Amino acid sequence: MDTLKGRSVVLRRATPDDAPAFRAALACEEVARWWTRNGWLDVEGDLARPDHRRLAITVEGVAVGMIQWWAEESPVCPYATVDMFLHPDYHRRGYGTDALRTLVGWLLSAGRQHRVTIDPAADNTAAIRCYEKVGFRRVGVLRQYWKDDAGQWRDGLLLDLLAGDLAAGREGGHGDR
């Protein structure tokens, strides 16, 4: 995949040059409270790996966030999972919804994936609202799923999406199938 075009964002493969922008976003409290300081330690090193699946979310050529995916290739229960963040300066402008809808649309097209999951903190209302807007459905609470920077166990919420659930998001186009 080279680029995926949404309504207002373009997703492209992230490179080590994106590390400063990603670090700047991760350093903001609005992002760090959900990604945690231990959430992504070796940004430069990970972006240099040839097999990474991280995309820069760009708006008019500027990297404003990151969206990543990973796939469980099981022959019996395959699924892909997605995670993302945007710099707070770009929150609440529809970019998160557009980026997620665009990536998930690509993942589900051409038989690439059958099911996509996402697992925000159970109290991350902004993320959950964004994901439900794209068509994700709540599966259930993941008890004591992740540890915050204070060392406290926190619950997660598992959501999943099948191709038919994305129906509301068809306006996003794909630059590369």
Ligand X SMILES: CC(C)(COP(=O)(O)OP(=O)(O)OC[C@H]1O[C@@H](n2cnc3c(N)ncnc32)[C@H](O)[C@@H]1OP(=O)(O)O)[C@@H](O)C(=O)NCCC(=O)NCCS
Q: Which chain residues interact with ligand X by CB under 6 A?
A: 30-31, 34, 83-86, 91-97, 120, 124-127, 129-130, 133
Q: In what order do the strands lie in the sheet with 153-162?
A: 3-5, 10-13, 54-59, 62-72, 79-86, 115-118, 153-162, 137-147
CB of 51 to ligand X, least distance (A): 22
CB nearer to ligand X: give 143 or 177.
143
CB nearer to ligand X: give 90 or 175.
90
CB nearer to ligand X: give 32 or 50.
32
CB of 110 to ligand X, least distance (A): 25
- CA dist 41 and 22 (Å) reads 11
How would you write 61-121 as a 3-class SS string?
CEEEEEEEEEEECCCCCCEEEEEEEECHHHCCCCHHHHHHHHHHHHHHHHHCCCEEEECCE
CB of 46 to ligand X, least distance (A): 17
CB nearer to ligand X: give 69 or 85.
85
CB of 127 to ligand X, least distance (A): 4
